[in-house]
Amino acid sequence: VRFLIELPACELDESLPDWGKQETVMVQGIADCVFEEAGGLVVLDYKTDRVRDRRVLVEHYAPQLALYARALGETMGLAVVRRLIYSFWLGEVIDLS
């Protein structure tokens, strides 16, 4: 599912100087899988990283999935109730909700 959302730049980078904090940026992305469950959206992102510890994926991709959840919730008009990563390397689903 493709999305495009406009955000204040300071939400993506808190270290911006004052003059840049008021600027807006366009963020576009593609969610691998989005489906409706229990009246809300579930965002599932597939990862192929070769890691042995699921915490590495959580640390690295939680901000991305939070941004996807916000964008998809706004564009599709439903709250995101679950954010999931499927790791092909680990063969497991990681729930970030």
For residues 49-78, give the mean pLDDT.
Answer: 95
Taking Cα atoms as reference points, which of 90, 94, 26 lies closest to residue 61? 94
Mean pLDDT, the chain, rounded, equals 93
**Taking the complete model, does pTM exceed 0.75, yes or no?**
yes
* Residue-level pLDDT at 14: 83
CA 12 and chain centroid, separation: 13
Overall residue count recorded for the chain in this entry: 97
pLDDT at 10 over 90: no
DSSP per-residue string spanning 29-66? EE-SEEEEETTEEEEEEEE----S-HHHHHHHHHHHHH
6 vs 70: CA distance, rounded Å = 11
Q: State residue 65 phi and psi, 5-degree precision.
A: -70, -30
